Amino acid sequence: MKRTDRQDPLVLPVDEIQEGASEYVLDVTAAGLDLQDAYYAFPGVIHVHLQLHRIMETFTLTGTVRTIARGECCRCLVPVEVPVRAELQVLFQLKNATPDELEAAAEDGGLVILRPGTRELNLAEHVHDGVLLELPVRVYCRKDCRGLCSHCGTDLNRDNCQCVGREQDPRWEALKNIKFR
């Protein structure tokens, strides 16, 4: 198992990757991955555990990325931390490729064709994308979160709302006259 102390630990020199299996355990920061999201922050390190198998000019990358994302409950806006786990699987090939092969590889997403003579494998983009794809669309502070009162903004998980006699919006009054059969 290799721990790397390089300036950018997710950029691996091709010449240093041995034939067979190599394992890398890395801790990187969200800033190091340029990991930004409008709804989430990443307060801690991002743990990256990668296995890289090299057979001649073919590199198979598999791995797991784990971190904690901090966001807000979508109902009551309380800060919530959620674990994020992303599985990575990418195939890199050093070869001369036709334009059709390059286009097919770009559409696939799991295959990266590199020109012969490429000196580095940059894994940062794959780790970055893996984390972003695993972020939940919504997070809740708890399953039965009651949210905020839409009228006065009271957190209904902590207090009962005092808006008993809510005024109805006059624009909706016509809907009361609809008769359903």
Give the pLDDT of residue 71: 94
pTM score over 0.85: no
Give the pLDDT of residue 105: 66
Question: Tokens in use for 144?
Answer: 């039965």
Give the pLDDT of residue 38: 85
Which of 156, 136, 140 has its CA nearest to residue 148? 156
3-state helix, strand, coil in the chain (%, to 5): 20, 35, 45
pLDDT-flagged residues of the chain (< 70): 1-7, 102, 105, 109, 164-167
Question: Tokens in use for 45?
Answer: 């390190």
Per-domain residue ranges for the chain? 11-149
Give the pLDDT of residue 66: 96
